Structures are given as structure tokens and as C-alpha cells.
Structure 1
């Protein structure tokens, strides 16, 4: 389809058609205004062609209009890299030899950099790879809020705070779309668990919806200019989110002015009338589970296919609905596959590997260090590496985020490159093959044998580096299943305890897209936390451990001591997670598959706006490691802030300048975080909320001034009575610190 269009595109600048001197139709002229082209193309389409635009023709494509030279749309899973090619009509891989790519760090890692410049670099690089692979829509990034550490898909998102997620998603989208590849921000909205994701109805206050779960999506649309949005599987107010009147028509279109396409998650459509009326444009993956199962129906039986066409012909839904959908789809096609100005793209370049490495470097979080780190490379002691994640390829499995990288450096390879023959390795634990919906059991004999060998070798080593955590198997960090426990899996806690008994010089380097219990934390000299780092992950891990890179990552989510310290689990009520069945058996937990319970479950967000650190702060339940926490190999002092005014007036801001001094001997980066607290309000408010942050490089012995401007918008809450944003007069505090629990300076002011 696209190859047929190439000679036409070459003539666009001349305004000529392929037939000679005849003027090109308006919709083909790239010098014409976009909306005029869209309207011209729309009036040329038949009803059948308009409907055909609205649904898939294969697993990852939608049809164009061949009669008019309008090409199809090619989509690919993301956002951590362009997925390997899938068969036209099955979930099997196509077996191509030229679809290997750069694997970029997971979005939790990107969020842990707290650096919008890294986000822009990420979007640019992954966009170039998507363009080279001739993709028009990259299915990502994801900005669902981290509500529970059991959510199997948290690693694809940007943490627990809407300010952090919103600031980080905008540069990604802007740079990605400069390649003529559409971002598809997902999963809109309230997709905060995988258990029963296809049927669970989320009961949440409008205030929590507006303050916690929607702001990052709004920034993606209003500031990022995302060209597409993916609806989520779950329901809200009884309607599936892929055709939800409130979310799509009222908020996305009318309030935010979204002019792009709404695309279903694969298998997310459930009703033709709702899909017709409630803002859905493109239907993908219907009658499958979006991951592994096949459909017995053809694409012409999708809800927005023949059933929709027949409803239109009978006058049961307005003809305007299909015109609106076709208009949005044409606009997307003109922005992407019919955009002759988009660059060619590139694949697996050294620049892309450098971007992946830089993001990984800045994302690793040093949680604890008693001085054992950095581990110098010029020593002579023997270093034992223990742990399955030291060698496991963590780009495999995980669902739609699975990747086929051309180059991957494992943590063991990275350490061997720096420390040479000082490094030896033993696995320590086993976890079976990557599977989606079940765990491959490992025999007790194997568990015991691996542990005994690791302990015996640890006894003789000078230093032990443990590399474990979660992986992409079922019930870990994996689409389709939630975690079954807050503990580390595969008997890792017992292994860590056993290693500590024989060698106290233990460095724990865990890889995970989620928080987990650490009953051994106070006895381990050093703890590092990383998310999935992609192609260059092993090099980043080795460089941080050795001190070649000074760690600067900060946690994008809290790490509670125990699951019950998390707001969603504090009451122990299954109504709050994973949900209960409504009706005759109300109160009973529901059995069922990951996609559809076969029943009518509802989950209630009883914690309301108190998500993550808001809960820990307000309820005075300390986290083991707080949101925003992350140490360095140097230290930073926060000086006395300079404040422009003690009062914030309408239309003016309070300007704060604070000097940050590197008091150590190494250059380092610090993330200065500014939170706002409302001393007295007519509604419940958290103790404080993140409103601004800046990451700055401070040379050893030098100081850098960090400046923030607080505006009236930073003081607002959503008033459910008036259904508007309100800032009440009174006294506020600006908390400036290195994490949500490490506040260095407090600046009071009035409004």
C-alpha cells in the first residue's frame, strides 16, 4: 500500500497527479491546511469505506482507502521499543530477521530519572526506530497511576504521582511525534490492576479521578499534543472505558479539546451502540484477550464493522457518528502515513544505545549505602555474583512490552567487563521459563541445591553482589496477571538471609518495576534498585556499582514496609483490591481469568486522593523508602531559600530560589523537589503534594541555585460540589527537599 503511494508523494510539491497535468485532489496536497484536506477526503468516501476505517484488518493494522490512494495505518506495541513483527492474523511472531531493535529502559526507569531531558531523548530515539520500521502508531507511553504494588503492569507506567508522570510524558510525546509517528497514550483510564481487567468497574470519587488519575493524561493531550489515546479494558460508571461517555465525550473531547483518535485496547470493545455514540474511533483486537487467544470471527464482525454499518443504514445511530470517526482517522493518517515530510528514521544506532545507557544510568536508585559502594575496580578481592537476574534476558515475556533486542548487555557481562577475572557467578535461585498465565514450578531439590552452592561460594568471596528481584514471568511484572505476594518470589528472601549469615559484605542489586518487602534491609550494607533497563542495562548497573556513574535516580513510587502500609490494602477489604462481586453474592471475592471475571466485579478506591506518599504522610505511616528517595556517592546541602513574597496574589507567583551545594568530593546530580501543603482547607487534603521538581548537576564543592515559581494553580483542589478547581485563601507551606520524607526547607506563604 505504501509503496504504491510513493510516486504520488513525489508529485505533491508540484501539485500534479500521477496522470500528468491534472491538479491533485485537495486531500493529497500537503500545502493545503490539514482540516481542509480532511474534509475533502471525507466527502469522497462511501459509507462502507468510512466504516471500514473504524476497525482492524489484521492484528496491528487498519485499512486505508485504496480507491483514493489513502494508505493503511501500521501500529506496533511499545513504549520501551518497537515490538518484533507479529503474524498478520495470529499472535505468533512472524520470524523476520530484520526486526531486531534497541530495547530502551522501562517507563518506571524513565520516571526514576526525574529528568524531562531524558524523556525527550527517549521519545526521539524510540520514534526514530518506529519510523524506520514503518510504524504509524506506537502504542505507548503509559501513565496509569501506581495504586498498588501488586499491579503486574506498573513497570510500564511512570509512578504514583500525577505531577511526575505528567511532566515526564510530555517531552516523550513531542519528540516521538516529530518522526511522524503517533503516540498512543494508555490506558485511559483507571487501569490500575490486571486482575479482572476486562470487567472490573472502578468506583472512585470524581475528585480523586480529577486530582490523581487524569492529570497525566490531560498533560499528554493538552501539552504533549498526543495524536491518539488508547482506552483501557476496565469500566467506569458501568461503561467500558473504550466507549465511555464521560471519559471520552465529556472530558477528553469537550473539556480537553482532543482532536485525535481513540483506539481500543485489544479486545476492549463490547457494544456497538456505545462504541458508536461514545467517542471510540478505531476498534482493535475484538474477540481475543489482547495477548494470546485467537478469534473465531472475522474482522467484519467487529462491533464497529458490519453491525455498525447495519445500525447506520437503519437509522438507529446518527450518520454524524461515522463522519466524526472517519474525520479523526483521516486526520491521523495525514499526520502519519500520508506525511511526506517525516524523516526516514534509524535503527539500533550508537546514538540510540547511548540514549538507552544514559537513561539507565540516571534511573538506578541507591536506597542504602554504609560505605561499601562504590566498589573500586582496581582492587584485588574476589567478587561473587549471585542471582538469576544477573543473566536472564529481561526483555522476554511481560506481555505487549516483550522485545527482540539486537544487542543486550546483562549485569554479569557488565560487571565482567569492569572487574575481569575477579568475578565469578552462581545462579542461587531458579524461576522457570517465561509464561503468561501460570508459573513453572521448580522442585524443592533444585531450590535447595542452588542455595547451598551459593552460600558455600559466598563464604569464600571477599564481596557478594546479589542481582535478583522480579522478572517478566506470570504473577511478576507481567501483563495479564497481578502479583500474588508483596515478598520477593522464588525464595529470594531466604537466600539473601543465608548469604548474609556467611558474608556480611553483601550488595543487593534488585531489578523490579514494583516495590517489594525487604525484611533484611537494615542488615545489608548497600541496596540498589533498578527497573528493567533494556539493551544497555548491564553496563549501567556495572558503572553505578563501580562509581564510574554517580547514582542520581529517585524512587517514582513509595516502598512500604509491608503491603498493609499501602493505602489500597490498609483495610484488608477485598472491595478495595481486587474487587468484589455485586448482586446476590456481594462481598465474595470473584474467581475468574485475568481479562474477564465472567461476573460483575467492582473495586472501590476508598483511599480516595491519598495514594502513595500522600497516604504515608497524612496517615503518619512511614514508608521504608519514601517517594523521591535516592542517595548519591556525594552529599548535598540546601541553603536558606530566597522568597520573592510572603503572599501569592491572583495573577502573580511566589518565586523561590534555593542554593544547593555539593559538599562531597564527587560531581553529582540532585533532584530538588517542591511540595505544597495547605494548612487549613474546607476539604480533606494531603499533608503535601508534589508540584515542581528540577534535576541539577552540581560539581564537587560548588553550588547551584534552583528556582521555582509557585502559582495559584499549584494551590487548587477539585471541588465536587461546584465541579470546578478551587484555591481557597489561607496559609500554605512550600516544602523543599530531597524526597517526600527528607524535607530540607519549609517556606510559608499566604494566598
Structure 2
């Protein structure tokens, strides 16, 4: 290392540049971080500072080679580390050593309602990112689930700001223990993919503060996240990636964020706004990078030559570049130049175990009814009762890690639902496809001829007629206009003719277990006729093993829904006010449901959900004792304790999520009927009882009073 320092010192002297001292402070990791940053900044030229503020390839930004300060390498992947792509192209690099572990989608993680699972997840994916020598992992996502049509909901943590806040913090901490920066996204209000690059969101300050920002705030103030990604959309007329309100006033001033703001790829639109309004690193603007490919190169980015020119002319303050460069240096010292970070690991048995555990705890048993009073519910499966179990559905064999946009993964191992069931139940399992959706496409739909659809449906119905049990594995997938980036769903119903297929199957065989794999709620016109329904999400590498363990009862389901399933789309708050509320008029959009998002809308407006937020059944039964309060009133200072006993009254061990909601019967503003404020996941053996105590503080009961804040 010393030889490298001497070489750099000689090079600097020969070029007439600012030289290193004999003992550079910025290289001494025993020195305070701020002192190291200040020292490095003092040695940099203006050109070097500006260069750090924009991309040099698809997924990297420059360091300062003269000073031995390395570049920053980023990777997509809230659910796994994306395969390598070419320097200046979106084409894959075709490496042979970049096949990752696929972890369950973040909807599944949220459905565990278990912060311990989030910590395991963050640690494992952080180890994979570290092994691949990534400095920034572009995730997790915490945008609020506002409409079930949003193509990117599967990457987020549901409709409730408190649940998302609790779950995001351990993920961040787990990732960053590896010397890899989490990059929480998409800040903020990126709640649809349609027109995402320009749609202007208008909403109340109260909705912003109570619903859409709390998870980001928790990521910053509790998780101490090192980077944040801006979103594509506009907020109150200004693009989110250089939005004065979001970045300068709230993120950096109010929350004291000391990390780096990174654009979503192509999210910058104006040099002056980017300079003044808190953007630090610009990625992906308009170009593949090389002049031979485009007349617009990396040096032409908004925060490149145009920014340098403004700085030299004095049209933007020099303090802006010092702030940006300081933040970027801090990120580099925390990641690329952190000699104390662990080595990481990749596609290990430990990581597969984490993926399976998260999947098992996130799977939600929506419904489990007996066909008659004389029969038991179909789940858990008693394999001895069946000779032929027919598995129907493309999702039983489809690789659901493919497609979806930037979350696409190249996986080393992905156990399909069919393979998992065959490993557990052997030759009892027979498979027929039932429907077809076409190839996983990012920007257009692969049309399947009606003759293929009709033929597959007819064959499935024929085989179901003499099966002892049907396991239907369907839902959505990662195709364009499904659960996929850059487009929203066009319909709330199941695609690819699945409703007709399900009705046909039920007509010949009522013994059906349905496994829905999706990141979004779907319409269920057949719900009363299907005895057992499981919501399975996108479960990653261990999909088949996790589903088989749940269906057979080896693992008792304990997941709870992180968002509501409306009966019909019009029952969702975002869709109750016409197109201006969703999807907007192509230019502007108004969040007219205000704070009444998800269950807050269903409860307050007395519009029952088909399956409500927080719903999830078990193979055992739990009994709740009456809750007791430490005081009849909340003290002005201090806290209120709420205690209750929970007992497993069944014959199987299981986990229950105890959920505490609060309501305000008399208030100066509209408040939801109830709001989640605390929860706890508890494991109980048969007959076991445990005491659960929640602590509420005055902060848990507060609301955002716009009249008071605005001085009215």
C-alpha cells in the first residue's frame, strides 16, 4: 500500500497538481469520517469533484484515480444481485460466475410481519452484493401500495407506512454491515409505472407526511441508510430527482440525511435544479455512453460539463459541488475504501435457507374451507388420501425470476412449484399447463394464439375430471403489463384466460387448492367456489420447497397480507374519484383519497375488502385474552402499556401476528377508523400461552395538522 502512495505522490508532482502529504488523512481509517472527507476534498480539483457526480458506465460512477480514490459500483436488485451487463450497453456481459440467489420479492418479506426475517434477508443479500464487489445495492423499495394496477408493487412493502417503516430498517442494517450501501427507492410518490417519467403528483401535505414519507424517514433516521434513489415522476411541478421540497427541505434539512442522492436512471432533467436542489449522482441520462453510439456522452450529463460551466461562471454556488463531493466521498469511505468490511458470500446453502425461511413465513393462507360438514379442510394436505394430484397452471413451472424490468435475476438455482411438490409427494403428482402467457417481455406483450389457449384449457379440464385433487398454480407473472416495470396492469382480473380455466376445472372437480403467485391483488369472481387459497408472491430460488412445505403442513402458514384485496377495482380508494386520481390525465394526477389509502379507505368508507390488510389464516387456532391498559389515559409525557395473553388452542405449533391498531373517535380532522401502530410475531407450541406487551407513546397518536403547520 505504501508503494502505491509514493507512486501517486510522484505522479501528482509531475503533473503540477495538488500533492499528497506524507501521511494523507483521508486514507487513515482511524480518523473521524468527517475529517477524512475534508482532507480528501481539499486535495481535489474542481474537475475531479464534478466528475464524481455523474456516471461513467451503466452502473458505475468515477472516483479520483490520482488520489487512489476508487469508483463506485452499483447493482440492481432488491431481491438479488443482478447479472453483469456491458459497460455501455444494456446487453448482458455473459459472465459465467454471476448467477445469484433469488430472494423472495419484498411483498413477501412484508407479509412475514417479522423484522427478524428482514434482518436475515438484508444480511444475506448484502453478503451476495459484497462478494460481487458492489458498493451500492439499489434497494429496498418502500413506495406505498396505492393501486393494485401498479406494475412495480411487487418490489415494495405494502400499503401501510408503519409496517413498511418497521420492515425496512433491519434490511438496511443487514446490508450495510457488509460495507455495501443500501439505496432506498423510489423517493418519492412513484406509485404507478404508467407515465412515470413525467406524471405530476399533487397531494396534501398531510398525505405526504402521514402515508408516503414515513418509511423513507425511518430508513434515514433509524436505518441510517447511506444512499437514496430519486423517483421519475414530478411532485408539485418539479421532478423528484431534483425536487427542492423532497430533497433539500425534507430529506437533507429536516431529516439530516448525510448520504448520497442518486437519480433513477434517466431521472435528471435540468442542470440548475440538479445543482441547487440536492441531487448528488446522476445516472443513466439519455445515453449509452460512447460517442460512437450517441452524440451525447457521459461528460454531457446535466451534472457534468454543463454543471462545471455554471460553477466556473458563478451562476451556481461553489458550495453545491463541495456538498455533493463530500457526500460521495463519505459513501466511498463507507464502502469501496472500507478495509474492515467482510468478504461476503454467494449462493451458499445459508442463503438458500434464508430465502426459504422468508418465503415460508410470507406465504399467506387466504382461505381454507371444508367442502362439507363431514369433511376437513383440504389443507394441510394428507397425501395418503390421494392417488392422483393434478397440478395445473403455467406458474407451476415458469421461472418467475425472469422479466419484471430492473429486478430481473440470473439465478443459480430456482426450484419450481412443480418440482417442490414432486420432491415431497412423488409420483402422485401429474402436471398439465392449462394456460400460456408467452415470453417474459419488458416492453411489449407476446401474444398467444386463441387456439393454443383453448387447447390447453380443454386438456386441463379433461385431466381434472378424474383427479383426486387439483392444485392450481396461477396468478400474474413478470410480463409487460403484469408485475413489471415501465407499465401498469390494464385489468384487475387474472390474465391469460385463467378465470375461464378455473371455472372449467371447478365444474368437473370441486377439490381445488389454489396457489396464487403474484405481487399484486387480483379479482376473484370464483372465490366462493375454491375451498383453499394461498397467496404465494414471487418466492425466488426456494419457491417449490417453500410452497410444498406449507401445503403439506411441514410448515404452518403465518404470513399476513401487507395490502388489501378489494372485491372489485372500484372499491380501491385511488379508483374512486375518476381518472384524475388514477392514472391522471397524462400530465397531472391528484391523490383525492388523501390519507385514506388501503385499509384506511375500506374501513372508514365501510367498503369491505375481499381479504383485508393483516389477514392470514393458520392450521392451528389462537385465542386472545382481554387486553389490559397501564392507564386509562395517555400521559402527556411518557407511555401507555397495553398487555394481552395469546394462546395456541390447536394441535399444531404455529406463529401468530398480534396487531395493535388505534383510532380517534373525536378529532378536528378526518381520521381513519383505525391505524396500525404496533405488531409482534410470536411462536407458540400447542397449548402454550405468552404475554404480549406493546408500548404506545404520544407520538403514536399524533396526526399531521396542516392548519397548525401552515399557521392558519
Q: TM-score, normalised by structure 1?
A: 0.90
SS in 2 for 1:691: strand
Alignment match of 2:454 (pick from 448, 451, 461): 448
Contact conserved, 1:137 with 1:182, CA < 8 A, in 2? yes
Q: Tell me how far apart the structure 1 counterparts of residues 711 and 59 of structure 2 sit (CA, whole Å).
A: 40
How far 1:676 sits from its partner (Å)?
A: 0.5
Cα shift at 1:194: 0.2
The correspondence for 1:434, drawn from 434, 437, 440, is 440
2:100 and 2:447 mapped to 1: Cα distance? 32
Q: Is the CA contact (8 Å cut-off) linking 2:189 and 2:212 kept in structure 1?
A: yes
1:614–1:689 Cα contact (<8 Å) kept: yes
The CA distance in 1 between the partners of 2:288 and 2:66, in whole Å, is 33
Residue in 2 that maps onto 1:115: 114
Task: Give, in whole Å, the separation in 1 of the partners of 2:21 and 2:668.
Answer: 68
Name which of 555, 579, 582 aligns with 2:584: 579
- Local SS of the residue matching 2:83: coil
Other structure's SS at 1:247 match: helix
Match in the other structure for 1:747: none
* Aligned counterparts of 1:512 and 1:400: Cα–Cα separation in 2: 17
For 2:11, the equivalent position in structure 1 comes to none
Alignment correspondent of 2:621: 635
The partner residue of 2:700 within 714, 717, 724 is 714
What is residue 12 of structure 2 aligned with on the other side?
none
Q: Which residue of 1 aligns with 2:215?
A: 216
Name the CA distance, whole Å, in 1 between partners of 2:325 and 2:383. 61
Contact 2:55–2:281 under 8 Å retained in 1: yes
- Match status 1:647 vs 2:647: no
Deviation at 1:332, TM superposition (A): 0.4
1:73 aligns to what? 72
The aligned runs of 1:430-579 (5 Å cut-off) are 430-571=436-577, 573-579=578-584
> 1:540-599: per-residue Cα shift (whole Å, max 9, x none)?
01110111110000000000000000000123x11011111xxxxxxxxx4xxxxxxxxx
Distance 1:318 1:687 in 2: 49
Distance 1:6 1:410 in 2: 52
Alignment correspondent of 1:742 = none
Please state whether the residue corresponding to 1:74 is helix, strand or coil: strand
Match of 1:402 among 408, 432, 435: 408
Q: Distance in 2 between matches of 1:295 and 1:268?
A: 18
TM-score, normalising length from structure 2?
A: 0.95
| Distance change >3 Å, CA 288–CA 380, structure 1 → 2 | same
**Equivalent residue number for residue 685 of structure 2:** 699
Contact 1:212 1:609 in 2 (8 A): yes
After TM superposition, the structure 1 stretch with the greater mean CA deviation from structure 2, 257-266 or 435-444, is: 435-444
| Counterpart-to-counterpart distance in 1, 2:448 and 2:562 | 33
Whether the aligned pair in 2 keeps the contact of 1:466 and 1:507 (CA below 8 Å) is yes
User: How many angstroms does 1:314 deviate by?
Assistant: 0.9
**How far 1:377 moved relative to its partner?**
3.3
- Between the aligned partners of 2:294 and 2:448, the Cα distance in structure 1 is 33
1:296 Cα shift?
Answer: 4.6
Is 2:131–2:345's contact at 8 Å kept on the other side of the alignment? Answer: yes
Give the counterpart of 1:604 among 590, 594, 611: 590
Maintained 8 Å contact 1:377/1:418: no
Offset, 1:376: 2.0
Q: Is the 8 A contact 2:63 2:70 kept in 1?
A: yes
2:232 aligned with 1:225: no
SS of residue paired to 1:535: helix
1:25-36 alignment to 2 at 5 Å? Answer: 25-36=24-35
Structure 1 equivalent of residue 129 of structure 2: 130
Match of 2:383 in 1: 377
Q: Deviations over 1:405-443 (max 9, x none)?
A: 101100000000011000010000010111112111111
Matched residue count: 690
What corresponds to 1:620 in structure 2? 606
- For residues 35 and 200 of structure 2, the distance between their equivalents in structure 1, rounded to whole angstroms, comes to 41
- What SS class does the counterpart of residue 610 from structure 1 fall into? coil
Distance 1:415 1:569, change over 3 A: same
* C-alpha displacement of 1:656: 1.0
* Structure 2: runs of 5+ lacking an equivalent: 8-19, 370-376
Deviation at 1:8, TM superposition (A): 5.8
Deviation string 1:171-228 (CA, Å, 9 cap, x unpaired) is 0001110000000000000000000000000000000000000000000000000000
Q: 1:289 to 1:114 in 2, by over 3 A?
A: farther
| Correspondences of 1:109-508 after superposition (within 5 Å) | 109-287=108-286, 296-370=295-369, 371-508=377-514
Other structure's SS at 2:163 match: helix
389-398 vs 280-289, which moves further: 280-289
1:320–1:534 CA distance, 2 compared to 1 (3 A): same
Indicate if the aligned counterparts of 1:718 and 1:725 stay in contact, CA closer than 8 A: no
Counterparts of 2:711 and 2:352, CA distance in 1: 43
Aligned to 1:733: none
Structure 2 counterpart SS, 1:460:
coil
Measured after TM superposition, the shift of residue 297 of structure 1 is 1.3
Structure 1 pair 526–295 and aligned structure 2 pair: CA distance change class (3 A):
farther
Do the aligned partners of 1:267 and 1:289 also contact (CA within 8 Å) in 2? no
The structural deviation recorded for 1:160 is 0.1
Relative distance call for 1:448 and 1:222 in structure 2 (3 A) is same
Deviations 1:485-521 (A, max 9, x none): 0000001011000000000001110100000100000
DSSP-derived class of the 2:421 partner: helix
TM-fit CA distance, 1:642 = 2.2
Q: 1:206 to 1:543 in 2, by over 3 A?
A: same
Alignment of 1:74-89 (within 5 A): 74-89=73-88
Give 5+ residue unaligned stretches, structure 1: 12-20, 581-589, 591-600, 727-751
Partner of 1:688: 674
Please say if residues 80 and 104 of structure 1, whose CA atoms lie closer than 8 Å, have aligned partners that are also in contact.
yes
1:597 maps to which residue? none
**Other structure's SS at 2:642 match:** strand
* In structure 2, distance between residues paired with 1:382 and 1:343: 50
Query: Hey, what's the Cα distance between the residues in 2 that align with 1:653 and 1:313?
Result: 55
For residues 509 and 380 of structure 1, what CA distance do their matches in structure 2 show? 18
Change (3 A) 1:443 1:213: same
Distance 1:381 1:43 in 2: 76
